[in-house]
């Protein structure tokens, strides 16, 4: 059993856990279904793209040398040899002095090396093409391989597949990809005071909130949430459910009460689930101090505080990075951190990391971080906030007007 009252900082907690974690295994899926998944093998281009010289304009493919010196006063006159239809290989071979109709995205005639835009041409009464501007070889043409050369890296390992990656893979004919399996995350809510949300409340009972809000946050990270609802504060029942959950999951999250007895029960269950058990009992943070971090059978086991605001804050600050790690993700999404100017002084006790909930406000081009006041354990403060500002343990606060990073939930 590890130190029982070992209170550590969030960065220490993430380090401590990360070095014991492993990334989930991978599976082969259709690229068509890969949006939002994380690539487990890097993808390199197997061919050049585009695969042929494409016209980037509507106009006429020509031999560039035939247009040299052309001007409004003295156009070049070319013979129209025909057209190269969209999606077809050219059947035309241009002789000197000839041109062929070309479409945006289509092929050039054989022997052509440039495209004259239709706006710079006219058909003469005798049916000849009059060209008013010279073109250089390669002009208005996307040459084969300009987008990707054979062997070019396309999407890296650990990279999230978004719309652009999906399009790039499809364009290169990569219709199957290896991606990391979605991690299975068990969310266990426990507490004698919890009842199902559909229940009318009677003395001392509250409706279960964390099971749903934490479940939603898990799914929002691209993982699967497996919810185990409302276990009473009894060792045997909690231990049995926890072991069952651990067997089929990559991580187990308890959301239990915030009382000492409830936390002690969770800690005892985590210790008994297997070595090393509890690694840290308590974080030097506000809110969220009663957080428990442990490992069992190589799987991370987390005890979140029961207070819904603390639970969500600790989830975002500590648990989400761990889930991203086991998901195989290499980067934190760029849209999860926004810079903003602090709207009023944020005092803080040093020796403790403070998470101050804030609301973003837009003011003539400036993004302002407005602290959401009110007790940290009220759900209404969550509704009116967009995220939080982290104040380091070695800081005694942040002055009004300072630019800070806001972590969006």
Residues 353-392 that bind a copy of itself (CB under 8 A): 360, 365, 367, 375, 377-380, 382-383, 385-386
Choose between 133 and 230: whose C-beta lies nearer to a copy of itself: 230
User: Quick check: 332 binds a copy of itself (CB under 8 A)?
Assistant: no
Near a copy of itself in 111-150, by CB under 8 A:
118, 142, 146-148
Q: How far apart are CA 184 and CA 316, in angstroms?
A: 18
- Give the one residue of 167, 298, 351, 401 binding a copy of itself; rule: CB under 8 A: 167
Could you say which residues in the range 270-299 bind a copy of itself, by CB under 8 A? none
One residue of 125, 204, 236, 394 binding a copy of itself per CB under 8 A:
204
Is residue 207 part of the contact set for a copy of itself (CB under 8 A)? Answer: yes
User: Smaller CB distance to a copy of itself: residue 301 or 406?
Assistant: 406
Please work out, in degrees rounded to the nearest 5, the angle formed at the alpha carbon of residue 70 by the alpha carbons of 64 and 75: 120
CB of 33 to a copy of itself, least distance (A): 10
236, 335, 364, 394: which one binds a copy of itself (CB under 8 A): 335
Closer to a copy of itself by CB, 154 or 293: give it. Answer: 154
Tell me the longest C-alpha to C-alpha distance in the chain: 98
Q: Which of 251, 312, 320, 323 binds a copy of itself (CB under 8 A)?
A: 312
Q: Measured in Å, how far apart are the chain's first and last C-alpha atoms?
A: 33
* Candidate residues 16, 29, 206, 393; the one interacting with a copy of itself per rule CB under 8 A: 206
Binding residue (CB under 8 A) for a copy of itself from 240, 339, 345, 363: 339
Q: Which of 111, 243, 258, 349 binds a copy of itself (CB under 8 A)?
A: 258
Using the minimum distance from each CB to a copy of itself, give the nearer residue, 78 or 221. Answer: 221
Q: In terms of CB distance, is 168 or 252 closer to a copy of itself? A: 168
| Contact between 50 and a copy of itself per CB under 8 A | yes
Task: Give whichever of 257 and 282 is closer to a copy of itself, judged by the CB atom.
Answer: 257
By CB under 8 A, tell whether 157 contacts a copy of itself.
no
If binding means CB under 8 A, how many residues of this protein chain bind a copy of itself? Answer: 100
Which of 74, 126, 201, 236 contacts a copy of itself by CB under 8 A? 201
Shortest CB 217 distance to a copy of itself, Å: 5
One of 9, 11, 24, 58 touching a copy of itself (CB under 8 A): 58
Q: Which of 135, 168, 295, 372 binds a copy of itself (CB under 8 A)?
A: 168
Nearest residue to 352 via CA among 391, 305, 315 = 391
Give 213 or 266: the residue with its C-beta nearer to a copy of itself. Answer: 213
Burial class for 69, CB neighbours closer than 10 Å (0-12, 13-18, 19+): exposed
């Amino acid at each position: 059993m590890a130190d029982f009252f070992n209170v550590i900082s969030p960065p220490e907690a993430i380090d401590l856990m990360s070095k014991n974690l492993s990334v989930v295994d991978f599976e082969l899926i259709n690229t068509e279904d890969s949006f939002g998944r994380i690539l487990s093998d890097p993808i390199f281009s197997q061919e050049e793209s585009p695969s042929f010289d494409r016209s980037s304009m509507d106009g006429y493919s020509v031999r560039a040398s035939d247009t040299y010196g052309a001007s409004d006063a003295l156009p070049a006159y070319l013979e129209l040899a025909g057209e190269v239809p969209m999606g077809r290989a050219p059947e035309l071979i241009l002789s000197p002095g000839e041109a062929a109709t070309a479409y945006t995205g289509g092929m050039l005639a054989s022997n052509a090396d440039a495209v004259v835009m239709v706006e710079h041409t006219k058909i003469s009464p005798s049916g000849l093409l009059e060209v008013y501007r010279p073109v250089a070889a390669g002009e208005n043409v996307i040459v084969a391989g300009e987008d990707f050369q054979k062997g070019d890296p396309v999407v890296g390992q650990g990279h999230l597949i978004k719309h652009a990656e999906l399009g790039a893979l499809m364009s290169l004919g990569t219709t199957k990809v290896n991606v990391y399996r979605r991690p299975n995350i068990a969310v266990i809510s426990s507490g004698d005071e919890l009842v199902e949300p559909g229940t009318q409340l009677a003395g001392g009972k509250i409706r279960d909130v964390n099971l749903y809000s934490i479940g939603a946050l898990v799914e929002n990270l691209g993982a699967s949430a497996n919810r185990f609802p409302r276990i009473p504060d009894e060792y045997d029942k909690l231990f049995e459910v926890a072991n069952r959950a651990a067997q089929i999951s990559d991580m187990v999250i308890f959301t239990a009460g915030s009382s000492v007895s409830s936390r002690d029960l969770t800690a005892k269950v985590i210790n008994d689930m297997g070595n090393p058990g509890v690694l840290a009992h308590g974080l030097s943070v506000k809110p969220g101090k009663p957080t428990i971090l442990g490992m069992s059978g190589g799987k991370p086991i987390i005890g979140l505080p029961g207070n819904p605001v603390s639970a969500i804050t600790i989830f975002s600050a500590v648990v989400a990075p761990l889930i991203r790690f086991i998901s195989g993700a290499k980067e934190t999404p760029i849209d999860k951190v926004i810079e903003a100017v602090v709207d009023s002084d944020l005092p803080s006790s040093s020796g403790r990391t403070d998470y101050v909930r804030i609301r973003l406000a837009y003011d003539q081009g400036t993004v302002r971080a407005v602290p959401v006041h009110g007790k940290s354990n009220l759900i209404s403060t969550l509704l009116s906030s967009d995220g939080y500002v982290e104040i380091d343990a070695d800081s005694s606060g942040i002055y009004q007007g300072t630019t800070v990073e806001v972590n969006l939930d």
